[in-house]
Amino acid sequence: MVTLAVATALLLGSGGTSGWLMLRGSKDAKSQQPGQVLPLDAVTVNLAGGHYLKMKIALQATDDLKEKPDGSRALDLAIAQYSNRQLGELSSTEGRLKAKNQLLETVNQAYDHRIMDIYFTEFVMQ
């Protein structure tokens, strides 16, 4: 009985610590202030089934990114992520949002967590 109580206390304690660390990390990310917006050139990506997507994106940097980032890496990641996707995947608002969030996560990591958001300024599928 004592062992079960100790195990429960350890489990709850580690869960609480993990939760606190996650919330603390989220707070730090949310405390970043927006910096410059970097508009990138439009790209056309081949989708599955002979369709294509023409998109133009802009990167919202954090204010601690002082020099203008090279957008080539972000465009390369966008092309890699969207190539050969099904038209139906990106036709719904939910599908586009999911794909955008995946791209944001990838781009943010590539730019050392200094990209706060990605804006689609053009998104045309055919």
Same domain? For 53 and 26 the reply is: no
pLDDT tens per residue across span 92-106: 999 999 999 999 999
With 90 as the cut, is the pLDDT of residue 59 above it? Answer: yes
Same domain? For 42 and 100 the reply is: yes
Q: At residue 107, what are phi and psi to the nearest 5 degrees? A: -65, -40
With 80 as the cut, is the pLDDT of residue 22 above it? Answer: no
Q: Among 35-44, 47-56, 66-75, 104-113, whose mean pLDDT is lowest?
A: 66-75
In the chain, the number of structural domains is 2
Same domain? For 58 and 114 the reply is: yes
> Averaged over 30-41, what is the pLDDT?
88
Domain hosting residue 117, numbered range: 33-125
